[in-house]
Structure 1
Amino acid sequence: MAHLIVHGGRPLSGRIIPSANKNAVLPILCATLLTREPLRIHGVPEITDVKKILELFRTLGSDVRMDFVTGLLELRHEDTRFDPSIHRLPAEMRSSIMLAPPLLARFGVARIEDDVKGCTLGAREIDPHIEVLKSFGATIERSDDSLVIRSDGPLRATRHWLDYASVTTTENFVLCAALASGQSKLNNAASEPHVQEFCAFMQTLGARISGIGTSQLTIDGVDSLSGGEFHLTEDFHEVATFLALGAITGGGVEVKNSAPDQFPLIDRTFAKFGVHVVHEDGWSKTKANGPLKVAEPFTRNVLQKVEAAPWPYLPVDLLPIFIALGVKAEGSVMFWNKVYDGALGWTGELSKFGAHVFLSDPHRLIAFGGKPLVPAQVESPYIIRVAIALLMLAASIEGRSMIHNATPIKRAHPRFVENLRMLGAEVEWTGGD
């Protein structure tokens, strides 16, 4: 693990061009296995998980040409081969589970390892994925350290209703249905922007999908998918992250943002801390009138609230950065994670900065903000935006802080420290990789 040393107290200002959304890029890369035709994908970020998947493709015999300087990936899976007794999917990344449907469709067999878990957000079951695979006609064999999935022939169209609107399960359903014979329908589908971008990529290859952006998807299976060219868009998580870094340090960061239509609820959440977001000419920036201050609800006998759940709620992945704002802002806020039961366990680290927080239960936290804060050494769990939230607080406090085990940031944000330095931050990696 690598750590971040932060010398805080400097207002961060400047312009940032964010990278593509990891949660769109990874399922798109998995989907490329469904076609033997050449592909060109623009804007591919240099992040850990991308490198792992591309290395797997090379191991399987695919033609991979990646230029991380320009972000251009040229890819062809014409001579790809898969042997479940030899090949292993990338470890410690949840998106590996989305390699199963294309491998199953292409080779009739796939293998899921026990360590396909990703960020430590509490219990993350694979049962919904298994249910989807079975509904398309796959059989499952359990071994000591993995699951082997097999199909005797082409996958068969199905109708399925998810227990909850899971992003990766929705994407796995689409991956299965694209080449399945007949029409498939999914109810309670996830509709996050990265799911919509993934579906748009599938349409580029010739997949027949309707209902994108809604809770019901209909997919008419086709005989084959083509190649094509696709441009990835900016990650709304990264846009919001750099806006928050500017706000918490008292600076002014402008971030390129070609999809401001995704931001109305995110903008209103910023406003709860006295931060006004402006979208102009393809760029987004924040304006704060003085120090951060929690807006008092019109209903005076309740706490201000930030509720995070599946889209179109505020995304749970953004909750940590707003917790950091809540600790810094004067006033009290309740934060509610309605998805993961283990995603708030890290908040005890905030007390090392002098923050006052109270964990009501595994899903709800109250921050009593505006208290005097001091630099500290803190431990980050293996959760991308928690490491960033801890860094945000460190950057806002004068003095030297250290974020131990901050490596997860590299899973989603290329050149993150370099971008921070461009904004005026004094921050550096130390130790580990």
Structure 2
Amino acid sequence: MSDLIVHGGTPLRGRIVPSANKNAVLPILCATLLTKEPVRLRGVPDITDVRRILDIFRTLGSRVEMDFDTGILDVHHLDTRFDEDTDRLPEAMRSSIMLVPPLLTRFGVARIENDVKGCTLGVREIDPHVEVFERFGAAVERVEDALLIRSLRPLIATQHWLDYASVTTTENFVLCAALARGTSTLTNAASEPHVQEFCAFMSAMGARIQGQGTSLLMIDGVEELGGADFTFTEDFHEIVTFLALGAITGGQVEVRNGSPDQFPLIDRTFAKFGVHVRHEGGWSRAETAGRLKVREPFTQNILQKVEAAPWPYLPVDLLPIFVALGVQAEGSMMFWNKVYDGAMGWTSELSRFGAHAFQSDPHRVVTFGGKRLVPATVESPYIIRVAIAMLMLAASIEGRSVIRKAAPIRRAHPRFAENLRALGAKIDWVPGA
């Protein structure tokens, strides 16, 4: 079932306990392949990408015990094996590429089918990953419909300076360096909360990492990694999503949040739309005083703007959430995606709601909000939070709307419709046309 039917116009109210961050869970799952000791993970979400990776583990002979009711995963890669001629990594998710370092470390070979892809966020090159593999001594060869990565000897430590602060490339560097011989240094490393959580898990297995949360990482290679018992924290993306859903519908949603220290810039971004976020007692809530309204900048003759780029900027993954707020808020707002080329083209679909969003170039969109919106049938591209942004607008408009091809939501948010119904939303999954 890939379409969402939304009967909007109801203010959402209540409390939500968010799930773990997909962008922390997936690299950590891949990292478990680096040890032959048992690993227990707590708070594992029931999302499609998790199920895909666990299926791969089972195919490779690993022992996997997953209880999605409790969120507890026990995984043991003692008897894991990999055959380059028969074993295939899933193509439908970008995180497949993070299986390469552990396979390379354990078996000396890994294979990627085509150019692995995730959300359709514009050009997402694979070259930075290839550079990392080569820096550690691997040879990368293009064969029919795949890339073959080989290392005839153990990986050797290296120093590398990334072209840009890529999350997945940073994680791949750490995965390679953890068991490489010597000390590796990465400059211009990504520092997002999920990268920090990934590094915390690696450290729990015995990796020696310095500089977590900064743009300079130093990793001293160790002989082996051990097991771990690790609990995931709440996903800040999901926290922001539910806060925004409460604000855009004129309700009030409280979301559990154990890391309010990550939110100062996010809070100030909400404030640009007239939304005030409070963090008290481990919970966060968004408050509005009447209708959403864009705050005028003090500098004359410029638009208020939201700029998204690698952390500590506002994360680009959250930009669609704020575009939805901009469409509803009275006033004009410019949105600037500084990472992905052409990732804002979906905003033309918002016109079906009666929204006015103008794409000025491949990276920037201006919304002219506060117009009367109407329910509509819209189609989401394969981008998780774009589907959510369309859902947000549908939930804020009285009447029946349809979000077609909304299945990407399930890649990051377990029980999403159920959580919304608990807040008072009228929403159902139905088979796609």
- 1:144 matched to 2:144? The reply is yes
Any idea what SS the aligned residue of 1:319 has? helix
Aligned ranges 1:116-195 → 2 under 5 Å: 116-195=116-195
The number of residue pairs the alignment matches comes to: 433
Q: Distance in 2 between matches of 1:135 and 1:113?
A: 21
Counterpart for residue 245 of structure 2: 245
Q: Identify the residue that residue 215 of structure 1 maps to in structure 2.
A: 215
Look up the match of 1:399: 399
Counterpart CA distance in 2 for 1:225 and 1:200 is 13
Q: Which amino acid aligns with 2:340?
A: Y
**Contact map agreement 1:342 1:362 (CA 8 A) in 2:** yes
CA distance in 1, matches of 2:115, 2:341: 19
Kept in 1, the 8 Å contact 2:115–2:126? The answer is: no
Is 1:410 the counterpart of 2:410? The answer is yes
Corresponding position of 1:295: 295
User: Aligned partners of 2:342 and 2:414: how far apart in 1?
Assistant: 26
Give the secondary structure class of the aligned counterpart of 2:265.
helix
Match of 1:256 in 2: 256
**1:40 maps to amino acid:** R
User: Retained in 2: the 8 A contact 1:184–1:219?
Assistant: yes
Q: Which amino acid aligns with 2:339?
A: V
Residue 370 in 1 paired to residue 382 in 2?
no
The equivalent of 2:325 in structure 1 is 325
Whole-Å separation in 1 of the counterparts to 2:77 and 2:10: 48
Post-superposition CA distance 1:180-224 (Å, at most 9, x none)? 000000000000000000000000000000000000000000000
Deviation at 1:432, TM superposition (A): 4.6
**Partner residue in 2 for 1:309:** 309
Other structure's SS at 1:279 match? strand
Structure 1 vs Structure 2: percent identity of aligned residues?
A: 75
Alpha carbons 1:270, 1:277 under 8 Å: kept: yes
Query: Aligned to 2:319, what secondary structure does the other structure show?
Result: helix
Q: Distance in 2 between matches of 1:91 and 1:17?
A: 31
Q: Which residue is equivalent to 1:425? A: 425
Quick one: distance in 1 between partners of 2:30 and 2:348? 37
Residue 274, structure 1, aligned to residue 299, structure 2 = no
Partner of 1:70: 70
Report the equivalent of 2:84.
84
State TM-score, norm by structure 1: 0.99
Q: Which amino acid aligns with 2:125?
A: E
Q: Report the 3-state secondary structure (helix = DSSP H, G, I; strand = E; otherwise coil) of the residue aligned with 1:153.
A: coil
Q: Which residue of 2 aligns with 1:59?
A: 59
Q: Distance in 1 between matches of 2:298 and 2:156?
A: 53
SS at match of 1:333: strand
Report how far residue 331 of structure 1 moved. 0.3
Aligned to 2:387: 387
- Work out the CA distance in 2 between the residues paired with 1:131 and 1:115: 15
Question: Does the 8 A contact of 1:92 with 1:115 survive in 2?
Answer: no
Residue identity in the other structure for 1:93: M
Partners in 2 of 1:84 and 1:388 — Cα distance? Answer: 38
For residues 399 and 228 of structure 1, the distance between their equivalents in structure 2, rounded to whole angstroms, comes to 49
Distance 1:111 1:259 in 2: 37
Report deviation, 1:90. 1.4
SS at match of 1:132: helix
Kindly indicate whether the alpha-carbon contact (under 8 Å) linking 1:273 and 1:294 is maintained by their aligned counterparts in 2: yes
Query: Partners in 2 of 1:153 and 1:66 — Cα distance?
Result: 34
Give me the whole-angstrom Cα distance separating, in 2, the residues matched to 1:184 and 1:307. 32
Given that 1:310 and 1:339 are in contact with CA atoms closer than 8 Å, whether structure 2 keeps it comes out as yes
CA RMSD of aligned residues (A): 0.8
Task: State the partner residue of 1:343.
Answer: 343
> Which position in structure 1 is the counterpart of 2:4?
4
Give, as a single letter, the amino acid of the residue that structure 1 aligns with 2:219. Answer: I
Unaligned runs of 5+ in 2: none
- TM superposition shift of 1:300: 2.3
For 2:298, give the aligned amino acid: F
Structure 1 stretches of at least 4 aligned residues deviating more than 6 Å after TM superposition: none
Structure 2 equivalent of residue 232 of structure 1: 232
Which amino acid in structure 2 is aligned with residue 25 of structure 1? V
CA distance in 2, matches of 1:351, 1:68: 39
- How far off is 1:115 after superposition? 4.8
Q: Which amino acid aligns with 2:387?
A: A
- Quote the Cα distance in structure 1 between the aligned partners of 2:38 and 2:242: 35
Q: Distance in 1 between matches of 2:429 and 2:84?
A: 37
Gaps of 5+ in 1: none
Deviations 1:402-428 (A, max 9, x none): 000000000000000000000000000
Contact 1:208–1:219 at 8 Å: present in 2 too?
A: yes
Distance (whole Å) between structure 1 residues aligned to residue 237 and residue 91 of structure 2: 24
The one-character-per-residue Cα deviations of 1:330-350 (angstroms, maximum 9, x if unpaired) are 000000000001210100110
Q: Which residue of 2 aligns with 1:359?
A: 359
Q: Deviations over 1:304-343 (max 9, x none)?
A: 0000000000000000000000000000000000000121
Residue identity opposite 2:373 in structure 1: L
Amino acid at match of 1:195: V
Q: d(CA) in 2 for partners of 1:12 and 1:85?
A: 52
SS of the aligned residue for 1:156 comes to coil
AA partner of residue 426 (structure 1): K
Give the Cα–Cα distance (whole angstroms) in 2 for the partners of residues 115 and 352 of structure 1.
33
SS at structure 2 position matched to 1:359: strand
Instruction: Please report the TM-score for the alignment, with normalisation by the length of structure 2.
Output: 0.99
Return closer, same or farther for 1:392/1:263 CA change in 2, 3 Å cut-off. same
